[in-house]
């Protein structure tokens, strides 16, 4: 049911400090004591009834107020109105002890439900505690001054010492350290930071001191955005929950009308009105769909909240539902399955050794900003090769560069450029064809118009990509890669990762068309690395943006955002969706089963108010407790030998 606004939203204490629960407990003591006095001491009704009335007021104040507000202001007949009617009916029949029992048990169940929901929300809001409440800023002359965190401005410089939390998002100006960003990205391993690195609020500095320039105010930092998005997502309802809500709005008035008819018709027929009035009161309680109404919200809130704490932002119950239905995952290639950075994989020298060829090529490419050139330089630096000085560097239009190294003219460029320049490559042509068939990019080195060798490069696969594909397959999900790259490269990557299908040479509009075609027979989840894939992300059943931390546009573009640049979170997100659906289905079956059993028993007069309330509230609390299990999603175990 609904929560008591700010009181519930902000509560994070112990259960006995929660006012609705505390009042229900006190009401139970009052009513229980009165019932014991009636049974064993013979307390008179004239004394007992006022005590029961006091218990009813104390235990029902919160939910009775809420029900009356819905009825008067919104013209809404909700579950609270059914319970109010049942309580009033029992009182009119002189069953004050039964009326008090109804109020106490219902109030206790409501209080426990709202307390559980409040604690779920509070667990997300507690992330804010990771960000310090004060900032140590640097003023004029680099003099340190401590100010409240909410007074920190964009552009302020602040110092974070080892072991301290980072107040807000920013860029490192001075210092080197490792920072634990688990609260933001879900990644447990610390990330190295140096001047120019981005840092985020709530991260913990583990080693050296850092001087940081704030890029956001405290209220607008990444941690605050995550909390806001998760809270907003928990309040957004999926299609199944919307159907249940619509059902409840129509069903509750029908129950109330049925209870009235159960009194009026026997009265008109001259039957025993007291007996039928009791059945009507029992029906109001037995038919109240509390467990059904709560069958999904707790599971959805738990799943979204738990995923959010792992750096998986699911932007609403509908998207969590969609995750449970996914049968096909479509991946962008560059930046999603690969790192988006080419690296040297093969060196085929002619007349010199491989290290000398790499060193000379790196000397030439040192002046170029092209990704392939940077890969050659990085490979030489990784092997700690000495790069000779290059002179007279010249960039050549068409994919190459020329420079003088050790008195010799070296030309580094694509095979196509060499053919245009009529440079004979001899036996290297076969080696180049082999590399290209493997999906690699070949760069030729020419020394004084003679072929000196070939260097092959390839975009590197994400280390976790192969395992993620295996996990998806164990979940029964097929995979497809949608790439703008050439078919040879695309098929090579797909083959190495075990991807089921590949569609290559796709422009953005062609990716959208491919998604729409796949959607004709599948529920498709599209994974991309942000804004460039936005059209395809929007077209799929569910869109997932990779590495969205610090990127507002990526968060906005997708239904789900993986805050860390970590593909391993994808199967976990799907597991959360499936767990939430299983738990919700169990709750729905339970709640409908209880209604199907209790309503006939109420109409036949087999059960009384106290028993009905006990069973009714037990079912509701069981639905709430089961809903919390959605926070504990697990991937299927890996079979032996994989």
pLDDT digits (tens, 9 = 90+) for 479-510: 999 987 778 888 888 998 999 999 988 877 78
One-letter-per-residue 3-state SS of 67-124? HHHHHHHCCCCCHHHHHHHHHHHHHHCCCHHHHHHHHHHHHHHHHHHHHHHHHHHHHH
Please list, residue by residue across 84-121, b when 16 or more beta carbons sit within 10 angstroms of its beta carbon and e when fewer do: bbbbebbbebebbbbbbbbbbbbbbbbbbbbbbbbbbb
DSSP for 200-258, written as a single string: -TT-EE-SS-EEEEESS-GGGSHHHHHHHHHHHHHHS--HHHHHHHHHHHHHHHHHHHH
pLDDT band at 4 (very low <50, low <70, confident <90, very high): very low
Please list, residue by residue across 371-399, b when 16 or more beta carbons sit within 10 angstroms of its beta carbon and e when fewer do: ebbbbbbbbbeeeebebbebeebeeeeeb
- Give the tokens for residue 499: 């991807």
Q: What is the pLDDT of residue 549?
A: 57
pLDDT band at 43 (very low <50, low <70, confident <90, very high): confident
Per-residue pLDDT for 272 more than 60? yes
DSSP for 487-507, written as a single string: HHHHHHHHHHHT-SEEE-S--
Per-residue pLDDT for 573 more than 50? yes
Which of the residue ranges 45-54, 202-211, 345-354, 484-493 would you say has the lowest mean pLDDT?
484-493
| CA quadruple 265, 268, 272, 273: dihedral, nearest 10 | 70
Residue 509 annotated as catalytic: no
Q: Containing H/E element for 272? A: none
Q: What is the pLDDT of residue 481?
A: 92
DSSP for 539-573, written as a single string: HSSEEEESS-TT-HHHHHH-SEEESSS-TTHHHHH
For the residues 60-75, what does the mean pLDDT come to?
A: 80
Per-residue pLDDT for 401 more than 80? yes
For residue 84, give every residue at least 6 positions away whose Cβ sits within 8 Å of its Cβ, in sequence order, or none.
64, 67, 68
Q: Containing H/E element for 430? A: helix 428-437
CA distance 290 to 180: 43
CA distance 534 to 561: 12
The answer to whether residues 68 and 78 touch, using CB atoms and an 8 Å cutoff, is no
For the residues 418-444, what does the mean pLDDT come to?
A: 87
Per-residue pLDDT for 399 more than 80? no
Burial class (CB in 10 A: 0-12, 13-18, 19+), 636: exposed
Question: Which of 42 and 403 is assigned the larger pLDDT?
Answer: 403
Q: What is the pLDDT of residue 125?
A: 63
Q: What is the pLDDT of residue 557?
A: 65
Which of the residue ranges 109-118, 361-370, 541-550 would you say has the lowest mean pLDDT?
109-118
Handedness of CA 331, 334, 340, 342 (dihedral sign): positive
Q: What is the pLDDT of residue 6?
A: 42
Q: What is the pLDDT of residue 5?
A: 44
Q: What is the pLDDT of residue 211?
A: 93
Tokens 């860390």, located at residue = 564
DSSP for 592-635, written as a single string: HHHHHHHHHHHHHT-S-HHHHHHHHHHHHHHHHHHHGGGG---P
Q: What is the pLDDT of residue 8?
A: 47
What predicted TM-score, i.e. pTM, was given to this entire model? 0.71
Q: What is the pLDDT of residue 3?
A: 40
Per-residue pLDDT for 602 more than 50? yes
Q: Are strands 210-214 and 157-160 parallel, antiparallel or unpaired?
A: antiparallel
CA distance 189 to 565: 13
For the residues 127-153, what does the mean pLDDT come to?
A: 81
Average pLDDT, the chain: 82
323 closest CA partner among 597, 575, 54: 575
- Give the tokens for residue 27: 């009401």
Question: Which of 483 and 376 is assigned the larger pLDDT?
Answer: 376
Per-residue pLDDT for 229 more than 50? yes
Per-residue pLDDT for 185 more than 80? no
Per-residue pLDDT for 233 more than 70? no
Which member of 97, 169, 332, 485 is catalytic? 332
CA distance 628 to 637: 22
Question: Which of 456 and 633 is assigned the larger pLDDT?
Answer: 456
pLDDT band at 19 (very low <50, low <70, confident <90, very high): confident
Q: What is the pLDDT of residue 641?
A: 41
């Amino acid at each position: 049911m609904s929560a008591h606004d700010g009181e519930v939203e902000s509560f994070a204490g112990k259960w006995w400090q929660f006012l609705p629960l505390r009042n229900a407990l006190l009401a139970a003591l009052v009513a229980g004591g009165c019932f014991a006095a009636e049974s064993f001491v013979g307390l008179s009704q004239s004394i007992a009834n006022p005590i029961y009335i006091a218990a009813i007021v104390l235990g029902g104040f919160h939910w009775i107020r809420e029900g009356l507000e819905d009825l008067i202001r919104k013209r809404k007949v909700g579950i609270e109105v059914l319970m109010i009617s049942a309580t009033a009916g029992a009182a009119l029949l002189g069953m004050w002890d039964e009326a008090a029992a109804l109020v106490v048990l219902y109030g206790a169940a409501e209080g426990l439900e709202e307390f559980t929901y409040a604690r779920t929300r509070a667990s997300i809001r507690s992330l804010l505690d990771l960000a310090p409440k004060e900032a140590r800023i640097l003023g004029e002359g680099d003099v340190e001054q401590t100010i409240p965190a909410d007074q920190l401005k964009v552009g302020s410089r602040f110092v974070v010492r080892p072991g301290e939390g980072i107040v807000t998002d920013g860029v490192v100006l001075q210092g080197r350290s490792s920072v634990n960003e688990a609260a933001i990205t879900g990644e447990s391993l610390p990330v190295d930071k140096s001047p120019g690195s981005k840092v985020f609020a709530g991260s913990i500095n583990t080693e050296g001191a850092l001087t940081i320039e704030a890029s956001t105010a405290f209220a607008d930092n990444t941690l605050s955005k995550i909390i806001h998005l998760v809270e907003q997502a928990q309040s957004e309802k999926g299609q199944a929950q919307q159907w249940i809500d619509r059902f409840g709005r129509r069903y509750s008035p029908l129950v109330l009308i049925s209870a009235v008819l159960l009194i009026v018709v026997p009265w008109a027929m001259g039957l025993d009105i007291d007996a039928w009035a009791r059945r009507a009161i029992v029906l109001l309680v037995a038919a109240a769909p509390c467990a059904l109404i709560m069958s999904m919200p707790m599971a959805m809130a738990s799943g979204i909240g738990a995923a959010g704490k792992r750096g998986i932002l699911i932007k609403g119950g509908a998207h969590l539902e969609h995750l449970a239905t996914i049968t096909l995952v479509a991946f962008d290639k560059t930046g999603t399955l690969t790192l988006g950075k080419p690296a040297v994989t093969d060196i085929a020298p002619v007349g010199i050794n491989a290290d000398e060829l790499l060193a000379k090529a790196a000397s030439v490419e040192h002046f170029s900003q092209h990704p392939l050139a940077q890969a050659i330089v990085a490979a030489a630096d990784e092997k700690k090769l000495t790069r000779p000085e290059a002179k007279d560097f010249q960039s050549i239009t068409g994919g190459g560069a020329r420079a003088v190294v050790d008195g010799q003219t070296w030309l580094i460029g694509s095979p196509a450029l060499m053919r245009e320049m009529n440079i004979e490559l001899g036996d290297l042509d076969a080696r180049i064809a082999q590399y290209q068939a493997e999906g690699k990019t070949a760069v030729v080195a020419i020394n004084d118009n003679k072929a000196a060798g070939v260097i092959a490069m390839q975009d590197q696969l994400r280390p976790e990509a192969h395992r993620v594909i295996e996990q998806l397959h164990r979940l029964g999900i097929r995979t497809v890669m949608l790439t703008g790259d050439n078919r040879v490269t695309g098929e090579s990557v797909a083959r190495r990762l075990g991807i089921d299908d590949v569609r290559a040479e796709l422009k953005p509009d062609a990716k959208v068309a491919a998604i729409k075609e796949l959607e004709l027979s599948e529920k498709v989840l599209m994974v991309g690395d942000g804004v460039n894939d936005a059209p395809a992300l929007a077209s799929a059943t569910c869109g997932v943006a990779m590495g969205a931390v610090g990127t507002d546009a990526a968060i906005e573009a997708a239904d789900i955002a993986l805050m860390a640049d970590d593909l391993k979170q994808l199967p976990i997100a799907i597991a959360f969706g499936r767990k939430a659906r299983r738990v919700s289905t169990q709750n729905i079956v339970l709640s409908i089963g209880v209604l199907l059993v209790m309503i006939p028993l109420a109409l036949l007069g087999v059960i009384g108010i106290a028993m009905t309330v006990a069973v009714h509230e037990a079912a509701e609390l069981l639905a709430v407790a089961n809903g919390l299990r959605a926070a504990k999603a697990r991937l299927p175990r890996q079979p032996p030998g994989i």
